Structure 1
Amino acid sequence: MAFATTAHLNFRGNAREALEFYRSVFGGRLTAVTYGDFGMPKELPDADKIVFGRIDNADNGFRVMAYDIPGQAGAEAGPAGTTRRENGMTLTHEPFFMSLRGETVEEVGELWKKLSEGATVVEDFGPAQWAPAFGMLTDRFGVTWVLDVAAAHDAG
């Protein structure tokens, strides 16, 4: 039996904006279905929010899903800056990070540049003990990304 896992991100009213941003970074096909598309009366506040969002079919294999939590538009997403580096350690209160690994410093570096627009950099992208390059940031939507380049022994 085979399985596929895909990160499913939860937003507070800006899932469409986040999905459009991720598509601009990674490519792929964007699907966005609103609560209204599923029958919620259009006059209700969440009718235009995303109940099912997905990016798939990217040439690089990127996939992600997202939706807007009902009734949470504009709500505080949680404490800002909950991930930081201190004394060589990553300290966080977040339950997960998005991890992205590529084969070359150049290709991952380009993704880093795009994702870092409006982001808070936790650790600059550059050489690391375990990888040709590594970096960590929290994007403008509050999602923390770990980007690294596969070491020669990790490839494949």
Structure 2
Amino acid sequence: MALSTTTHLNFRGEARAALEFYQSVFGGHLTAIAYGDFGMPRELPDADKIVFGQVTAGNGFSVMAYDVPGQAPAAAAPAVTTREHGMTLTGERFFVSVRGETVEEVGALWDRLADGADIVEKYGPSQWAPGFGMLTDRFGVTWILDVAAPYAG
């Protein structure tokens, strides 16, 4: 039996903009279906919000998102982070992790995703990978981008 997992992000009125941004970063196909497309009367406030959204790319990238119904848009808040003894400490419950094969391919994704983001750790070489970086994007989602490297321990 084969399994796969896809990150599903929950927004409050920003799912369409977030998915369009992620498509501009990672490429691929965007699907965005509004509540109104599923029969919600068009005059209701949530009718144009996303009930099902997804970006899938041929390189393996996939993310899903929707707008929590009945919720007002919330401003994206940067992740609360501190540096202690060379480590990044954060209260975030999850990160979205993207791993690529080369410093150049991951660096190109980093450059696009970093547009409007709060940089937690600048992309560059780390102790465990030839390329690593952490940021919180303009929608409040924290991402880790790194380059796959065999463990040398």
What TM-score, normalized by structure 2, do the two folds share?
0.93
1:136 and 1:80 mapped to 2: Cα distance? 12
Counterpart residue number, 1:34? 34
**Is 1:119 matched up with 2:122?**
no
2:40 is aligned with what amino acid?
M
- The alignment of Structure 1 onto Structure 2 pairs a total of residues equal to 151
For the Cα contact (< 8 Å) 1:126–1:134, is it kept in 2? yes
* Residue of structure 2 equivalent to 1:4: 4
Provide Cα deviations, 1:35-74, integer angstroms capped at 9, x if missing partner.
1111111111110000000111x12110010000112232
User: CA-atom RMSD, angstroms?
Assistant: 1.4
3-state DSSP of counterpart to 2:9: strand
Specify the code of the residue in structure 1 equivalent to 2:115: E
Structure 2 Cα separation of the partners of residues 40 and 80 of structure 1: 33
82, 94, 97: which is aligned to 2:95?
A: 97
What one-letter code is carried by the residue in structure 2 that aligns with 1:35?
Answer: Y
Deviations 1:4-58 (A, max 9, x none): 11000001101000000000111111111101111111111110000000111x1
Letter of the 1:146 partner, please give it.
I
Asked if structure 2 preserves the Cα contact closer than 8 Å seen for 1:103 and 1:149, the reply is: yes
Counterparts in 2 of 1:84 and 1:54: CA distance versus 1, 3 Å: farther
Counterpart AA for 1:63: S
Show structure 2 runs of 5+ residues with no match.
Answer: none
The answer on whether the counterparts of 2:78 and 2:118 sit within 8 Å (CA) in structure 1 is no
> Any runs of at least 4 consecutive aligned residues in structure 1 with deviations exceeding 2 A, and if so which?
79-87
Structure 1 vs Structure 2: percent identity of aligned residues?
72
Change (3 A) 1:72 1:84: farther
1:51-90, aligned counterparts within 5 Å? 51-56=51-56, 58-76=57-75, 80-90=78-88
